[in-house]
Amino acid sequence: MKIDQISVFLENKSGRLAKVTRVLGEAGINIRALSLADTTDFGILRLIVNDSQKAMEVLKENGFTVGKTEVVAVEVEDKPGGLASILGVLSDHDINVEYMYAFVEQSGENAIIICRFDETDKAIYVLQKNNIAILKGEKLYQF
């Protein structure tokens, strides 16, 4: 149920993001989801890719600082209040969402929320107990 997410630390200057995507593309690695947050001096690029181990290797070989984190992919109906219902369940159980990002499935019927929790195992248990769909990596890589 946990999915590997790669975090790449980038200097906040022109061309760094382009180089990451070029390196990954040349290695045949497909980016399935991403989030980029920045400060004045650096950014953190968070990626879900089809081969996290290979991605980490090629990025390190090309001089990037890379880390790996476990996240959870939650499927939610793409309609008003869909996200609020999931966040309400988590809040009721005192589970903190450290960060999240989302994308809509190609069918447009559901959204996928990538979440980092303060208590990942507890969050998975609560989500499953409340019949909230958690995606395995294999399915996420198909989108």
CB within 8 Å of 56: residues ≥ 6 apart: 6, 66, 68
Write down the pLDDT at residue 143: 60
Across the range 71-99, mean pLDDT stands at: 94
- In the chain, the percentage of residues whose pLDDT exceeds 70 is 97
pTM listed for this prediction: 0.88
What is the per-residue pLDDT for 134? 94
Sign of CA dihedral 53, 120, 143, 100: negative
Instruction: Tell me the C-alpha to C-alpha distance, in Å, between residue 64 and each of 20, 49, 53, 56.
Output: 8, 16, 14, 9
- Which tens digits make up the pLDDT trace of 50-60? 999 999 999 99
How confident is residue 23, by pLDDT bands cut at 50, 70 and 90?
Answer: very high
> What average pLDDT does the structure give for the chain?
92
Domains of the chain, start order: 2-70 (3.30.2130.10), 71-132 (3.30.2130.10)
| Band (42; pLDDT cuts 50, 70, 90) | confident
pLDDT tens profile 91-128: 999 999 999 998 887 656 788 999 999 999 999 999 99
